[in-house]
Amino acid sequence: MSETEVSPKQERFPRLKTVAAAIGLAAFGPATLYGVVEALLAGEVRNLGRVVASVRDDPLEFYAIMFVGGLGALLVTTLSALFLILLFKGRGSRRV
């Protein structure tokens, strides 16, 4: 099979990689949000076992990191959910 030929699986499921990537992206937002909630409950942000920010040391820095992380998680979740909706909504119109 040359490089220009398409395998039968790719012809059968042409959008499978796109859907898998969108679902992975959609899962990234809630995973980040879980990290934010975990850090809020623990009162510290850890990276590779080291404390990056603690609510006891500098509350402003800690809550700023939590706010930015939460907004980022919300943005990624919303955009990926919209992408999935558009991906599946456009699918039905192409079958005609």
pLDDT per position as a tens digit, 4-37: 565 555 556 667 777 777 777 777 777 878 888 8
Token code pair at residue 66 = 């939590």
pLDDT per position as a tens digit, 46-84: 778 788 788 888 888 888 888 988 898 888 888 888 887
Per the CB < 8 A criterion, the answer to whether 76 and 25 are in contact is yes
Token code pair at residue 93 = 């119109």
- Of 85, 1, 78, residue with least CA distance to 32: 78
CA-to-CA distance for 87 and 64, rounded, in angstroms? 34
Which residues, at least 6 apart from 50, have a Cβ–Cβ distance to it below 8 Å? none
